[in-house]
Structure 1
Amino acid sequence: MSAHRAERLPVALLLPGQGAQHRGMAAELYGQEAVFTAVLDEFFEYMGKEGCALRDEWLADPPDLVIDDASRAQPLLFATGYALGRSLESRGIRPAALLGHSVGELAAAALAGVFGLRDAAMLMRERTAATVAVPAGGMLAAAASVEELRPYLDSDAGVNSVVVGARNGPRQTVLAGAEPQLSSVERLLRDHGVSCRRVAARQPFHSPAMAHAVGRFERAFSTIEMRPPRVPIWSTATGARLRGEQATDPAFWAWQLANPVQFWPALDAMLRSRDFLLAETGPGQGLCMLARLHPRVRQGHCEVVPLLPSGADGALRTYRAAVTRMKQNNP
């Protein structure tokens, strides 16, 4: 805790999206944390045969799944983020704000009561199905600003274009697009000395290539009841606090597939509203790394804690240590 801050901090959950997944993520908590286990079992049951298969693959030793494909990564990212959030609630840690990156925003919506877990399971099945016919592609993280990357991007934003897929930080930008165009941009960036790496994704999320999947996803949302969030959500679709009319709009959620992720603007807006203890509620520690770049964190006004380790080992120890720290800071 910073020496110049005596008050305790409210908790904001940061829920990661595609790219954070890894084999065995959070599996150590299954069977050890009762609420986490029960929530995951409920989610897998709602997903039907596909959910049972996914659970078996996730818990296999060694894990037996193609983790970077959206059909596996997306439902597991949603489920682990949501189950961790519910587990924290059972321990008396109730978040004052939620911020989810890509599919993490759907987990945030479920935690805030926008829709229930049964409907969420259906939505994850439809999200997966909607991406089946998406052109082959991916995502590329570059250590450069959006402005620095513009000369390498297509100006027409056609279906095969490479575009900005996520604004993760001032000089942390993710590009997205179909192949072979994405590989061509990657070669150009490397030739010009721009540091970049592939995101663990087999689909070009948050690019025009996803546009044709939007219709099916929107139809799925139109079949369920949605409510304004009970907990404030800072939306990475808009970079601002989610409004009630957006939360209940099927088109808003459907277009999240194709529109860029505004993580940094959303984080900045949230931290301008008040100070928080930021808890990364999902696998990996990528959002912690990004949050530590923010001035409010660097200056000691906000704190950052991961709920899970960067790899599969030590998940239970990391989670319980994080819970202890959050209880000490939670008003």
Structure 2
Amino acid sequence: MNDVRTAADGRDGGTRPVALLLPGQGAQHPRMAAGLLAAEPVFAEAMDEALTALADAGGPGGHGTGLREDWLGSRDTALMDHVTRSQPLLFAVDYAIGRLVLGWGVRPVALLGHSIGEVAAAVLSGVFTLPDAAAMVHDRVARLADAPPGGMVAVAATREEVAPFLTDGVVVGAVNAPRQTVLAGLDGPLRTVTAALADAGFVLQRVPASTAFHSPALAPAMRGADERIAALPVGEPRIPVMSGYTGRFLTPAEAKDPAFWSRQPVAPVLFWPALDALLAQGDPVLVEAGPGQGLSQLARRHPAVRSGRSAVVPLLPARPGTAEDDVTAVRAAAAALRERAGVPDARPV
């Protein structure tokens, strides 16, 4: 069994371990992390590699075409929230930010990805090569692009509180915190359920998504995906991956099981149970390696963080801003890692 209290971080002196959190659907926004292109060569190179891999996977006219242009040039949030842009670009940005942190000399004791962030974690850990993961992401996106319109809504409530309201295929799509439950479903039923919850006094917030991620509504679209994944070579994780789908460390058998990956768009994300399992084994500095600070905000609710045993360091701003905002956020994160985790190579950009 993996244990973050004893896993080596590659440094002498007993420095605090680091775990990376990689965000998923809902964290995306136009030009996310683009401010680092001119300031951070490692990020720029990794982002170029990821976008090239996605374009190659899609071929001429595929969903990977135009990703770079839309990432850097479009201000259309609806376009960025669509599965053909949100999923591959989140995968690419998470991967590139992860590469940036690894380039500082950080040796994470664990990676915890939320939704598509788990695929980026699989690449960083060595389960998949970047081109093979890009092929899997492209296949996933191509399948989901024509799925019926749907969405996700975060509710300030427990799973037990929302259970009586669920109907017509609306399900719990993610458990982000004890009192943050995300519902997923097709547009019509989801509107009905959320209206009932609002009438009952619950606080709700729409997740930026036009697809019913993590619900059975996507099962028909994903049928047969495991056959494509089965053709991809798989390695054992060099960095432990705490799976947001099982709430435990990814095993070699799971990593090699095509169905484990193909069912992810249909299965619920268990972020809080996974975070709880990770922090139960140690007190790492939690570094959010991706756009926004959504996972940081969730992690700050955990008793290990509130008590000061663990700490949270986001890499990027909480909200979209300027290129200088991106650079300033990374500079602050580098300083925090030098102070809290003793990472001498985490230099300001």
TM norm structure 2: 0.88
Query: What are structure 1's unaligned runs of at least 5 residues?
Result: 1-5, 155-159
Look up the equivalent residue of 1:146 and give its one-letter code.
R
Whole-angstrom CA distance in 2 between matches of 1:28 and 1:312:
10
* Structure 2 SS opposite 1:9: coil
Aligned mate of 1:93, from 106, 125, 128:
106
Whole-angstrom CA distance in 2 between matches of 1:63 and 1:208:
29
Cα RMSD (Å): 1.6
Question: Is contact 2:114–2:269 with CA below 8 Å preserved after alignment?
Answer: yes
Whole-angstrom CA distance in 2 between matches of 1:7 and 1:114:
28
Question: Is contact 2:144–2:222 with CA below 8 Å preserved after alignment?
Answer: no
CA deviation string 1:34-92 (max 9, x = no partner):
11111111121122255451101111175787111011001111111111111111111
Look up the equivalent residue of 2:23 and give its one-letter code.
P
User: Is 2:140 aligned against 1:127?
Assistant: yes
CA, structure 1 residues 226+27, in 2 after alignment: closer, same or farther (shift >3 Å)? same
- Report how many aligned residue pairs link the two structures: 321
* Structure 2 SS opposite 1:164: strand
* Structure 1 SS opposite 2:141: helix
Query: What are structure 2's unaligned runs of at least 5 residues?
Result: 1-12, 343-349
Whole-angstrom CA distance in 2 between matches of 1:274 and 1:252:
27
| CA drift at 1:222 | 1.0
CA deviation string 1:283-309 (max 9, x = no partner):
111101100110000110000011000
Correspondence list, 1:293-312, <5 A: 293-312=301-320
CA, structure 1 residues 62+259, in 2 after alignment: closer, same or farther (shift >3 Å)? closer
Whole-angstrom CA distance in 2 between matches of 1:112 and 1:239:
17
Whole-angstrom CA distance in 2 between matches of 1:265 and 1:62:
35
Question: Is contact 1:44–1:52 with CA below 8 Å preserved after alignment?
Answer: no
User: Is 2:56 aligned against 1:20?
Assistant: no
Aligned mate of 1:107, from 92, 115, 120:
120
Partner of 2:54: 47
Partner of 2:44: 37
Moved over 2 A (4+): 47-52, 61-65, 213-217, 327-331
Identity of aligned residues (%): 48
User: Is 2:342 aligned against 1:327?
Assistant: no
* Structure 2 SS opposite 1:234: coil
Aligned mate of 2:254, from 246, 254, 265:
246
| CA drift at 1:311 | 2.1
Whole-angstrom CA distance in 2 between matches of 1:256 and 1:267:
18
TM norm structure 1: 0.93
Question: Is contact 1:43–1:51 with CA below 8 Å preserved after alignment?
Answer: no
